[in-house]
Structure 1
Amino acid sequence: MSCNSSGCQSNCYKNGDQVSDSPPPPPAANNSSNLCLKCKTNSPITPGSLSGDEARFCADCFRSNIYGKFRLAVASHAMISPSDNVLVAFSGGPSSRVALQFVHVLQDRAQKNFEASKDKSLPVFGVGVAFIDESAVYPVSSDKVDGAIQDMRSVVSNLAPPTKQLHVVPIENIYASDSSDGKDRLTKLLDAVNDATGKEDLLLHLRMMALQKVASQNGYNRLILGSCTSRIACHVLAATVKGRGYSLSADIQYVDARWEVPVVLPLRDCTSQELNLLCHLDGLLLNGGSSWQSSLKTLQPFDSPPSGINGLISSFVNVLQEENSSRECTILRTAGKLTPFEFNRIPETDDCNVPLAIRRRQKRYNLKTKESISSELFCPICNAPLKNFNSLNLSSLKSCQSSRFNAACCSSCQFQIIPKDPSSMENFCSLLPQQVVDRAKHGNCSNLSLLREQIQDCLLSDSEDET
């Protein structure tokens, strides 16, 4: 029993507030602060690899956390159903590599469930892979391109069944003519654009056209891109600087169905830092991710330093990220508050092959009409939604070689891509892919129908006209 005397010198006063002068015992070797934040068992990832809570995860929990983000995005927005046939855009970078791996994991689990089920009622969705060969634009030797394609074939073929077809398509295939003529037209088209940012943006739009062509010609009904938080954050700032504020919300949602084949972004909530580390942990990048990727992925498409808006914004965001690891996520969350468009959702389906739970989830997460905005007008070059009829020429578009085409484009394309010299306009239009020309013509016709619908109440009917 301890004494109650405050003058006791025996250090036996243990029931009061008095604190002993003796030093505290050393921490145990297995202190919980040195263990994984989630499983409390394994050591966390090497400090410096990540920041925030992810840095306190072990490799297994970190891998599970990243896949969980992917799986939640796919399930919440009904990106993939059993009857779908999805095409993964594969560039060889960490983001597209992780997207391909995660889609493969989903398909592999669906295949095992199909084989284990008795009734075999739910089919397994198909997966294809597309690589757009841009060697006609990038200064890369043919040997490096062939080596990169061979590595990609090895990656795809080594994935477990079901078999996934790899589509290697030169970007000049957006032209209907032969490859040599298409390559020449593509080179001349890019040379006709004087602005460095305009060249980069035009190449990005042409790449999307090539992916859409591959998907539609081969029966795919979903296009999966590996766009992550870091890339979207750069796009948010760049689009703001370019004056694309109205169409910005269309590009940053999980789903973009304004295209013939809807585009989905299942890695939207993952940062490039996380994806790079995951590729390093799982050895997903061949040759250390340096030789062939540095040739095809990180090379500037033009022989000049990144002086355009896109390069400057990317460098700026990298500096922000170094100062505060949550900057990219903050940018995306802020932009995510913008009102989405009606096409930023997967169209609802009554397909009996789609489980009822998926259809209910689709209705739950799909945008409501009153919560979204619509735009039936789209730029023929970048397919960005247009706000009004201010720049629309309502006369018929008989030829692309006309100022009417300029009036049908968004202000960003008018400023950065379309030549300012009227004498160069006809030559520029003659070099455009037929898809762009058709989009301008069809868009103009649909705009006339839309205008008629809007003024229908003011028009006289045939009977009223007779009286």
Structure 2
Amino acid sequence: MCQVGEDYGDPVPEGPPPPRPGRELRCVKCKDGLPVVVIRAGDAFCRDCFRAFYVHKFRAVLGKNRLIFPGEKVLLAWSGGPSSSSMVWQVLEGLSRDSAKRLRFVPGVVYVDEGAACGQSWENRAKTLAEVKLILRSFGFPWHIVALEEVFTLPPSVLRCSAQEPVGTEGTYKVAVDSFLQQQHTVGSSPSPTQQEEQLSQPCTQDPQDPAGPPPAAHIEALSRLFDSVKTLTAKEELLQTLRGHLLLHVARTHGYSKVMTGDSCTRLAIKLMTSLALGRGAFLAWDTGFSDERHGDVVVVRPMREHTLKEVAFYNRLFAVPSIFTPAIDTKAPEKASIHRLMEGFLLRLQAQFPSTVSTVYRTSEKLVKAPRDGCAAGPRCLLCMCSLDVDTADSATAFGAQTQDFSQTQPPTPLAEAGAAPMPCCSAEVGRAQKCCQSTLLCRSHLWILCHLTSWLRPSSAAKGPRRISRSIWLRTVTRRCTPLGAEPGATPKQEGKDGQAACDCINKNIFN
């Protein structure tokens, strides 16, 4: 209970501050070193153990999937950000002589200049490119710089799936490894430094000593008009991602790369999964978030950083001085509700701050998604933007979209009455319907089929060329009852009965099409 006058007593002297918990903790791996990084609650690592933990994650993802063969050319998509910079750094250290299990593929780096999409001037873009080239030279790999404006010069083959199938079975991987080891044993135990330099000094897209000038003014203006015509930030981000993917695919095919590595982290893939669900791309989540993406056929996109969170990437880059560069993105300084991408990012990061297993739970869900079997590029229609198979079953579909698609594809071109030279005749009659075969579908009612087959002949020639237009109910009803004989009407039926049948057809059309 409260005592009288206790509020007027002298303040209780404070004791010494409690010791920092980091001083009492020890590394969970070696049990000896002082921790410098706390990844999760209770998971504190010292500097050396955290480095081994981080490198093992990267190597384990590559070794578990076995998609990159020895001696294969791999293109590293570097944007200058933390994840892609850490990915290039892991490859650089994996190719060094001091590495325990050296990586055996031949890397190259590509950088896509997206300054035009963000509204930057050429002077600011030139300064950024100068810093980018300094970092690219420090890597020692063949590097390629492409501007986003080059999408206007891409060949049509970018929008087509290659007929070449990706090779990635376990048997072929073992055969490739054995042949590579035998070749290395024949030539020597390890290549000399001169041979390594010759292997990495391959021709680049641009001469480092002679930087290329700005893209053509027409392309810059066309790209600006393209992004200005897109009204929402969500659509702009999707458009930028599509154009970037086309450029990476073109560079890989032009210079002989069969794999493309991207720096998508675990956090970024979790955000992408939720965003794709909101955008209606649930059927393609296995390709958009999985380790490998074989939709292009000859070039496979792999994501070796998918086990690393953004927190781990940030700690590693800070502790080991991984070079990176900041370039303003299209959503820089945008509010949280400006796009679906930003909204999902803020939602997941807030949940992650309160519940540390949020990102890993979403990510593990994406791992359970199974890809549909690949039947070849000619198995069905594909989207020209993302090259994914269209999930529309036009052969046997009970949806309204499938029914209307099949029916309108079978409709004959409109013929004006003046050119026909004869009175209109129902196309489903014995004389015409059997020859045209335009009303043989059973997906629609017979009245609906008959009305659609005569829809264009009732319009004037000037409007028929533009396709069917909206017609008021009264005009449609008068046209049906006055000029047409309903399908299925008995020979010699009274006008009253024909009018009833026509009105029933009118109600069917108004209900299914004009509402």
Report the alpha carbon displacement of residue 147 of structure 1 after superposing the two structures with TM: 3.3
Give how far 1:104 is off.
1.4
Q: CA deviation at 1:221?
A: 1.1
Corresponding letter in the other structure for 1:313? M
Aligned to 1:67: 55
State the match for 2:315 in structure 1: 277
Aligned residues of 2:135 and 2:323 also touching (Cα < 8 A): no
Q: What CA deviation, in whole Å up to 9, does each residue of 1:391-420 have, x standing for no partner?
A: 68798xxxxxxxxxxxxxxxxxxxxxxxxx
2:67 matches 1:92: no
Superposition deviation, residue 68 in structure 1: 0.8
Kindly indicate whether residue 34 of structure 2 is the aligned counterpart of residue 51 of structure 1: no
- Deviation string 1:37-58 (CA, Å, 9 cap, x unpaired) is 11122111255xx32454x111
Q: Summarize the Cα distance change of 1:341–1:267 in structure 2 as closer, same or farther, 3 Å threshold.
A: farther
User: How far apart, CA to CA, are the structure 2 residues paired with 1:245 and 1:156?
Assistant: 37
- The amino acid that maps onto 2:72 is D
1:35 is aligned to: 26
Please state if 1:382 is matched with 2:386. yes
Tell me which residue corresponds to 1:320.
351
Matched, 1:171 2:148: yes
What is the alpha-carbon distance in structure 1 between the residues aligned to residue 57 and residue 37 of structure 2?
22
Q: Which region of structure 1 is more displaced relative to structure 2, 88-97 or 317-326? A: 317-326
Q: What is the Cα deviation at residue 315 of structure 1? A: 0.9
- Structure 1 unpaired stretches of 5+: 1-30, 115-122, 287-291, 344-368, 396-467
Q: Distance in 2 between matches of 1:236 and 1:154?
A: 34
**Shift of the alpha carbon at 1:317?**
1.0
SS at match of 1:130: strand
Counterpart of 2:470 in structure 1 is none
Determine the structure 1 residue equivalent to 2:238: 201
SS of match in other structure, 1:379: coil
Cα distance in 2 for residues equivalent to 1:53 and 1:103 = 30
Residues 147-179 of structure 1 show CA distances to partners (whole Å, capped at 9, x for unaligned) of 3323332223223xxx41221110111111873
Q: Which moved more, 1:174-183 or 1:215-224?
A: 174-183
Partner Cα separation in structure 2 for residue 302 and residue 174 of structure 1: 26
C-alpha offsets along residues 195-239 of structure 1, whole Å, 9 cap, x if unaligned? 321111011110111111111111111100000111110011111
Distance 1:75-1:35 versus aligned 2 partners, 3 A rule:
same
Query: 2 CA distance for matches of 1:63 and 1:307?
Result: 37
- Please point out which of 250, 254, 265 is paired with 2:291: 254
Listed one character per residue, the Cα deviations across residues 106-162 of structure 1 (whole Å, up to 9, x for unaligned) are 222499989xxxxxxxx9522111110011111334444333323332223223xxx
Q: Residue 337 of structure 1 corresponds to which residue in structure 2?
A: 368
User: d(CA) in 2 for partners of 1:315 and 1:249?
Assistant: 23
Which residue of structure 1 lines up, in the alignment, with residue 269 of structure 2? 232
1:437-456 matches, within 5 Å, as none
| TM-score relative to the length of structure 1 | 0.62
* Structure 1 position 157 matched with structure 2 position 145: no
Give secondary structure in 1 for the equivalent of 2:126. Answer: helix
- After superposition, the Cα gap between the structure-2 partners of 1:224 and 1:53, relative to the gap in structure 1 and judged at 3 Å, is farther
Where structure 2 has 5 or more consecutive residues not aligned to the other structure, the ranges are 1-21, 155-214, 395-400, 410-515
1:183 to partner: Cα distance: 2.2
Give the secondary-structure state (helix, strand or coil) at the position aligned to 1:268: coil
* Number of matched pairs: 317
Partners of 1:139 and 1:147 in 2: CA distance: 15
Alignment match, 1:411: none
The SS at the match of 1:156 is: helix
SS in 2 for 1:378: coil
SS in 1 for 2:338: coil
Asked if the contact 2:136/2:143 (under 8 Å) is kept, the reply is: yes
Asked if the contact 1:229/1:329 (under 8 Å) is kept, the reply is yes
1:266 counterpart (275, 285, 304): 304
Distance 1:110-1:78 versus aligned 2 partners, 3 A rule:
farther
Alignment of 1:70-149 (within 5 A): 70-109=58-97, 124-149=104-129
- The CA deviation at 1:389 is 3.2
| Corresponding residue SS for 1:128 | strand
Q: How many angstroms apart in 2 are the aligned matches of 1:302 and 1:182? A: 27
Pick closer, same or farther for the CA change 1:33–1:303 going to 2, 3 Å: closer
Give 1:302 shift.
9.5
Aligned pair partner of 1:189 in 220, 226, 229: 226
- Does the CA-based 8 Å contact 2:73-2:107 persist in structure 1? yes
Counterparts in 2 of 1:389 and 1:183: CA distance versus 1, 3 Å: farther
User: 2:87, 2:313 → 1: CA distance?
Assistant: 10
Alpha-carbon displacement from aligned partner over 1:252-302 (angstroms, at most 9, x marks no partner): 11111112421000011110111011101111135xxxxx50x434x5279
SS state at 1:70 partner: helix
Cα 1:183–1:32 change in 2 (3 A) is closer
Partner letter of residue 243 of structure 2? L
Point out which structure has higher relative CO (alpha carbons under 8 A, 6+ apart).
1
State the match for 2:247 in structure 1. 210
Are the counterparts in 2 of residues 253 and 340 from structure 1 also a CA contact under 8 Å?
no
Distance 1:245 1:44, change over 3 A: same
CA offsets 1:352-409 (integer angstroms, 9 cap, x no match): xxxxxxxxxxxxxxxxx9xxxx9744211122332233468798xxxxxxxxxxxxxx
RMSD between aligned alpha carbons? 3.2
Given that 1:250 and 1:340 are in contact with CA atoms closer than 8 Å, whether structure 2 keeps it comes out as yes
Contact 2:94 2:101 (8 Å CA) reproduced: no
| SS at 1:108 equivalent | coil
Mapped partners of 2:355, 2:335: distance in 1? 30
Question: Residue 220 of structure 1: which of 254, 257, 271 is its match?
Answer: 257
